[in-house]
Amino acid sequence: MKLLLQILIFLIIGYLTSCSNTTKTNTEIVNINKPEIMYLEALKEFESEDYDLALEKFYEIELKFPLSKEAIQSQIMIAFVEYIKLDYDLAILKLEKIIKRYPSYKDIDYVYYMKAICYYERIENPELDGKFNLLALQSFNETINYFPNSKYAKDSQQKIFLLKENIAAKHMSVGLFYLNQKKYLASLKRYQKVIDKHSESKYTPEALHRLVEIYYTLGMVEEAKKTASVLGHNYPKSKWYDYSYNLVGDQDYIKSKKTNLLKKILNKVSLNNEK
């Protein structure tokens, strides 16, 4: 919300600056600038947080001057007001209409970004709310793909990373549920999705370990050992690496771990004796 307000203020300042350069020398020019005057009045109501009155004025501009740049900007402001009022469905509907009607508008990247934010803020439970995770991810990807140099691209990329973690977390949660129910195939598919589609996720080491568990339980010992080897190669310091190798019974590995632990204990004892 804070970031969107800052961006909106920036857009408003830019608009006011452009308006300040306009001179009114006769009645004809005043009439031409009427939508600009109405828009400034609507902005005053918005800044005063009288959102209902601001909406009335923005809608009036859209109705009376549909071809003006103020009409487009008013539509964006209408969507933003609905966003502030937490009416996300209506805000998204307005934003989608703007995208469809004015694909070449100079601030259309902001409209795409704002639509993504509306989906993003509807995520109540990151691990379970799959619908809005996916919609937000899709919308942020559109912002980056269509406008790679946009000032909203960096924040979109950061939120994409968080959304992918959310989606991976959901697969892990569902996979564990199936594993506890002994529905091994369904569980395996969930963990495989994390490994295949979210390989950079923090959940990948655990997903690999869960595969080791499933293969071992099903008597597929060789597959379990191969998966444990992949886990060990990519995440040698992970606790899931230890769990997997202890499970599959790699005696050389266990022996080396015990030897290293014994060496650490002896070194610690030696240092204490020297003191």
Measured between alpha carbons, how far is 15 from 92 in angstroms, rounded to an integer? 24
Q: For residue 61, what are the domain limits? A: 33-106
Q: Which residue type is seen at 208? A: L
CATH of the domain at 63: 1.25.40.10
Residue 148 lies in a domain: no
Question: Does any domain span residue 10?
Answer: no
Q: Is residue 217, in this structure, part of any structural domain at all?
A: no
- Whether 54 maps to a domain, the answer reads yes
Domain total for the chain? 1
pLDDT at 124: 77
- Rounded Cα distance, 157 and 31, in Å: 44
Average of pLDDT values for 42-69? 91
pLDDT digits (tens, 9 = 90+) for 73-88: 999 999 999 999 999 9
What per-residue confidence (pLDDT) applies to 35?
A: 86
**Structural domain includes residue 47:** yes
pLDDT greater than 80 at residue 252: no
Q: Please state, in angstroms and rounded to a whole number, the distance separating the CA atoms of residues 46 and 30.
A: 23
- Residue 70 covered by a domain: yes
- Model pLDDT, residue 30: 46
Contacts with 15 (C-beta within 8 Å, 6 or more apart), sequence order:
39, 73
| pLDDT single digits (tens) 15-24 | 555 555 544 4
Quote the CA–CA distance of 130 and 271 in Å, as a whole number: 54
Q: Is the pLDDT of residue 254 over 70?
A: no
Q: What is the DSSP-derived secondary structure letter of residue 66?
A: T
Mean pLDDT of the chain: 82
Q: Is residue 68 part of a domain?
A: yes
Position of tokens 């995520």? Answer: 123
pTM of the shown model: 0.70
- pLDDT tens-place string over residues 115-135: 999 999 998 765 555 788 899
Domain-embedded: residue 62: yes
Model pLDDT for residues 198-207, shown as the tens digit of each residue: 988 999 999 9
pLDDT at 261: 46
